Structure 1
Amino acid sequence: MRDETKYALKKTAFYFVIFTAVAWILIPIIVAFLYGFTTKTDYYNPDIIIPHSYTTKYVHTILFTLGAWEGIKNSVIVATLTIIISFILGIPAGYSIAKFIFPGRDTIKLSIVALRMFPIPVMAIPLIVLYIRLHLADTLLGVALAHTAMALPFVVLITSSIFGGVSKEYEEAAMVFGLTRLGSFMKITLPLALPGLAAAAMFTFVMSWNEVFVASVLTLNHRTLPAQVLSIMAGSSGGAAPDYYKFAAAFIMTLPAMLFIFFARKYLVTMWGITLK
């Protein structure tokens, strides 16, 4: 087989993989948009694949009548608290792992990853009992703390990689000119790492936004959007919501996260650039 043929086959296979990955992501989003806004008549018409008439009735009902708008506000608050708490705890830990050599450093990194091996449903009952005793049940802070426990291992590992990509010579030069280690971190290392930290914040936000099990178990009146949508879809009259309401709910849940990633995508590329130096 000639080199030109091999190159053409490799190129075709590469584009096929890319097309498959893009289709795998976009097709559900497109379907959720089409059927979330279609009318009931078009949805149940077996001769129509792409709807001809559309309505915002289902989205409006879910948002304002069934309380999903309140869930969106709760999700934003919980995700913001999760980012803040995760960074307060994770940035010092990531910096220490990246910049200092101490006994057990590799063991600590492995232990951080191992924290994600325990399934959350197994810990649900002890977590609920603990939250009731601490008066954190059915509070946004309680959900944020639970999400922080889930996101913190990733934040530590990501920030350690980011800080490891910042040359230590910059900090040493800053300390030669009179800055303390904290001062060199605040004025030199942190500004260089900000794009990567923004990407870590994006990961944390999306994780908190999409999490449903913990939010459903720990809250009743102050639920985040996924938990609220799950409650709406399961608690509708007749035991289950119509399919077009489910598609509308999927669109409502997907759109904010997509917008957040769209505006923060340049920081994601920057993070990988810093990490792979």
Structure 2
Amino acid sequence: MNEKTVFMLKKVAFYAFIFTVVAWIVIPIIVSALYAFSTKTDYYDPRKVIPTSFTDEWVKTILYVLGAWDGIKNSVIVATLTIIISFILGIPAGYAIARFAFKGKDTIKLSIVALRMFPIPVMAIPLVVLYIKLKLIDTLFGVALAHTAMALPFVVLITSSIFAGVDKELEEAGMVFGLTRWGAFRNITLPLALPGLAAAAMFTFVMSWNEVFVASILTLKNRTLPAQILSIVAGAAGGAAPAYYKFAAAFIMTLPAMLFIFFARRYLVTMWGITLR
């Protein structure tokens, strides 16, 4: 085969791979959206693959009757608190790892990663006992703290990589012209690092939004959306919730996260100087 044929085959293979990945992600979302609004007749009709008549009854029932709307509000609060706390703790730690040389630096980075190797179910009972003693059980702040413990290692590593990519000489130049280290960080390093921090915020939000185990064991009334959905589709009626309710629950779970990523993505690419049309 000549070079042109090899190039075309590689190009076809690349686009086939991209198409497969996109289809793997998009098709379940489309199916969930279709059957979330499908009527009961169309859903159980074996002759129809794609429903032709629709209703919003299942979505409304889950949102307003079964309490998923409160779960959405709780999830937004918890995810926002998780991002704030993770950034308050993670940005200084990431900056210190990126900018300063100190004894045990590599050990600390390895220890940060090692924090994620312990399975959450193993720590479930001690965590609940601790939360009861601290009176954080069934509180949104308590769930946010638990999510912060899960997201913080990644935030530290991501922010350290981001700050390491910002030229140190820019800060030194700022300090030569009279800025303090804090002033150089705030006015020079932080604006340059904002796109990466936005990406870290997206990761933290999605992690907190999708987390279900910790939210389920730490809350009873103030449940986040995944824990609320789990109790609706699995807990009610011994897990015998109708399938179209499960599709509606899947649609409700994915839509807010997709909207957040969509708007955060526009902010992200705008800071990088890319125009979306």
TM-score over 0.5 for the alignment? yes
Distance 1:112 1:272 in 2: 29
Measured against aligned partners, the alpha-carbon deviations of 1:181-221 in whole angstroms (never above 9, x if no partner) come to 11111111111111211111111011000000000010000
Q: Give the whole-Å Cα distance in 2 for the aligned partners of 1:219 and 1:238.
A: 20
* Residue number in structure 2 paired with 1:50: 50
Match of 2:11 in 1: 11
Give the TM-score taking structure 2 as reference length. Answer: 0.95
Give the conservation status (yes or no) of the 8 Å contact 2:195–2:272. Answer: no
In 2 relative to 1, CA 159–267 (structure 1 residues): closer, same or farther, beyond 3 Å? farther
Q: Which residue of 1 aligns with 2:143?
A: 143
Tell me by how many angstroms 1:77 deviates. Answer: 0.4
Kept in 1, the 8 Å contact 2:175–2:181? The answer is yes
- Equivalent residue, structure 1, for 2:23: 23
Q: Which amino acid aligns with 2:112?
A: I
Aligned residues: 273
Report the counterpart of residue 33 of structure 1 in structure 2: 33
2:221 corresponds to 1:221: yes
Q: Amino acid of the residue matched to residue 191 of structure 1?
A: P
| Worse-superposed segment, 204-213 or 185-194 | 185-194
| Match runs of 1:188-227 below 5 Å | 188-227=188-227
Query: 2:219 aligned with 1:230, yes or no?
Result: no
RMSD of equivalent CA atoms? 1.5
How far residue 9 of structure 1 moved from its aligned partner, in angstroms, is 1.1
Q: 4+ residue runs of structure 1 moved beyond 3 angstroms?
A: 266-273
Return the alpha-carbon distance in structure 1 between the equivalents of residues 142 and 134 of structure 2: 9
Contact 1:98 1:164 in 2 (8 A): yes
Partner Cα separation in structure 1 for residue 26 and residue 229 of structure 2? 22
Are positions 1:244 and 2:241 aligned together?
Answer: no
Name the amino acid aligned to 1:100: F
Which has the higher mean CA deviation after the structures are superposed, 195-204 or 126-135? 195-204
Rounded to whole Å, the distance in 1 between the matches of 2:7 and 2:267 is 33
Aligned residue number for residue 75 of structure 1: 75
- 1:84 corresponds in structure 2 to 84
Q: Which residue of 2 aligns with 1:104?
A: 104
Q: CA deviation at 1:266?
A: 4.4
Change (3 A) 1:21 1:271: farther
Distance 1:167 1:212 in 2: 40
Distance 1:113 1:9 in 2: 40
Residues 98 and 160, structure 2, Cα contact 8 Å, conserved in 1: yes
Summarize deviations over 1:88-119 as a string: whole Å, max 9, x none. Answer: 10000000000011111111111111111111
Partner of 1:60: 60
TM-score, length basis structure 1: 0.95
**Partners of 1:269 and 1:195 in 2: how far apart?**
8
What percent of counterpart residues are identical?
Answer: 80
In the TM superposition, residue 164 of structure 1 has moved relative to its aligned partner by 0.8
Unaligned runs of at least 5 residues, structure 2 = none
| 1:235 counterpart SS class | helix
1:28 maps to amino acid: P
5 Å-filtered alignment, 1:150-189, equals 150-189=150-189
Amino acid at match of 1:215: A
